[in-house]
Homo-oligomer: A and B are copies of this chain.
Amino acid sequence: MTLDAPTVTRSALWRRAIAEFLGTALLVAIVVGSGIAAERLSTDPGLQLLENAIATALGLGVLILLLAPVSEAHFNPVVSLADAILGRKDRTGLTAPALVIYVIAQIAGASAGAVLANAMFAAPTAISTTARATPATFLAEIVATGGLVLLIIGLTRTGRSVPVIATAVGSYIGAAYWFTSSTSFANPAVTIGRIFTDTFAGIAPASVIPFVGAQVIGAAVALGLASVLFSGITAKQGE
């Protein structure tokens, strides 16, 4: 999508894969770790979610700011997929092999991040038993992911700087934890990674397929909306 495109083309694919692995790992470590801390320290479930949401919003923004110059900081297979699709025509997007490598790095990173968070809190790494899939959360994941992908496309299309995009994406997820009934996973890699912790932020394997399905639908909705809303807009950096 060309977050810092000139820099990105200079980064070798293996370096970008490391950045995607590390960024997604730290993102999941933040989500899972702050969830464990919240669960242990607070009793009110809303307060637990608030603590989890604030930590995630701040941490995600920082990770994007740090790693966007290396790999564009996708950390999310549907974002990488949208990048590959939108950048096909003018060859600025991920190629098919690069897409595969990005997604593998993201899923591996997400899983490692959950294990790391468990270890930091001396919690066992175990398969989550938290069932989350319902018709309401299915709809919520479509909305959450659609909003996220539309946001990323719109901000890159209108030429926003990396610090602005980083803050906006973090803020969006912070809000989406609250305005969706699914607490906004909005990311297939993170969804898979969160299988590996039976704590506040975990998700039972049986809920993963419907969640990921909804996320892909949401990304498709976002691509459609973006073509309606932003087709006539050209990037004007620093506007």
A residues near B (Cβ < 8 Å) are: 4, 7, 10-12, 15, 18-19, 22, 26, 29-30, 32-34, 36-38, 40-59, 61-62, 65-67, 69-70, 116-117, 119-122, 134-136, 139-140, 143, 147, 150-151, 154-155, 158, 160-164, 168, 171-172, 174-181, 225, 228-230, 232-233, 236, 238-239
Contact = CB atoms under 8 A, between A and B. Distances in A.
Contacts of A58: 57, 171-172, 174-175
The prevalent SS among residues of A at the interface is helix
B143 A116 contact: yes
A136 B19 CA distance: 25
Find the residue from A116, A158, A171 having the highest chain B CB count within 10 A.
Answer: A171
A155 B230 contact: no
Nearest to A23: B229
A143 B155 CA distance: 31
A155 to B, nearest CB: 7
A151 B239 contact: no
6 contacts: A30-B175, A55-B177, A58-B172, A69-B239, A120-B139, A163-B164
B46 A179 contact: no
